Structures are given as C-alpha cells and as structure tokens.
C-alpha cells in the first residue's frame, strides 16, 4: 500500500513537471512570436520613412529585437529550459549579424573563442548585449567604412574568451 501510494505521488509529480515544461515552452514560443510581430511592424512603418538616420535607427532596433528573440528560440529547442548555452548563442548571433550586415566571408574573418558557459535564463538577455554591441559596432563600422573608402581591406572580428570567462566566474 505504501509503495503504491509513493508511485502515485511520483507519477503526479512527473505529470506536473511535464505540464510546467509545456507551459514554459509555450511562453518562450509566444515571446519569440511577439518579437517577430514587433519586427514586422517596424518593417511596415519603415516603408513610409525616407530619412536615412531614422531608417538606420529602426534597423538597429530590429537587430536588437532579433538577438533577444534568438534566446527564446534556443530555449525552445533546448532540453534545459532555465539555462542558455552561451557559446552556442554567440555562434548563432555572429552568423545572424554577418547575414544582417551582408558581410562577405572573404572580407571579414570571425573567430569565436568562448568557454562552455551555461547561463541562467534571467542573465541571458543581459549578457547577450555585450557581444551583440561589440560585433554590431565592428560590422557597422566596416559597412560604413567600406561604402566610404571601398579599399577592399580585410578585418578579423574576434570575441568570446574574455566575455565567457567572466560570465563563468559570475554564474557558475
């Protein structure tokens, strides 16, 4: 009788955990979709804007929204719903930034030297901002310089080690 009661409690607990995981995944899915809607609204609004500075600001806002959305995508695909593989995120973020800025691989090299760091969910959005800004500013500078100079120079962009080593000390 005691064993049967224990098995029943364990089954109930497993079921509760599954239900909570489903709800958490649904929340991440909705957040990601809401960010995509916001990005689409920015796209629609930017069609009527002719000022290059304003368009550039809207473009940067969309880029930041996308980087935050990527965290929720990662969590949706992850088995662990409360931690983010930061090295994996850095790699995906770099690829996205290269696509966003239409970077030619022959012109810009990318080297991510990052330790394996698993960040808690609450730190994820904040910690993504550091590499996002660093890479975005470098690629933005390259884009502006190339359009003004056009000398075909090559740039190597590297980040990761100092960021992840600091984060691993803080969050491990």
Please state the φ and ψ torsions of residue 102, each to the nearest 5 degrees.
Answer: 55, 50
54-96 residue pLDDT tens: 998 998 899 889 888 888 888 888 888 888 888 888 888 888 8
Residue 23 and residue 104: Cα distance in Å, rounded? 41
pTM metric for this prediction: 0.70
Alpha helix stretches (DSSP H) within 47-85: 52-77
Helix, strand, coil % over all residues of the chain, rounded to 5: 75, 10, 20
Q: The tokens of 140 are what?
A: 């933005």
Number of neighbouring beta carbons within 10 Å of residue 127:
23
């Amino acid at each position: 009788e005691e064993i049967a009661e224990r098995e029943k409690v364990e089954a109930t607990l497993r079921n509760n955990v599954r239900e909570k995981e489903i709800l958490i995944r649904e929340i991440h899915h909705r957040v990601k979709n809401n960010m995509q809607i916001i990005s689409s609204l920015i796209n629609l609004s930017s069609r009527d804007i002719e000022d290059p500075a304003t368009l550039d600001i809207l473009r940067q806002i969309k880029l930041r929204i996308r980087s935050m959305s990527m965290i929720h995508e990662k969590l949706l695909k992850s088995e662990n719903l409360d931690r983010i593989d930061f090295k994996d995120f850095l790699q995906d973020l770099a690829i996205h930034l290269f696509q966003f800025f239409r970077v030619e691989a022959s012109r810009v090299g990318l080297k991510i030297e990052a330790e394996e760091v698993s960040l808690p969910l609450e730190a994820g959005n904040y910690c993504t901002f550091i590499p996002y800004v660093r890479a975005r500013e470098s690629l933005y500078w390259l884009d502006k310089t190339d359009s003004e100079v056009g000398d075909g120079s090559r740039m190597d962009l590297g980040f990761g080690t100092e960021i992840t080593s600091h984060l691993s000390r803080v969050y491990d």
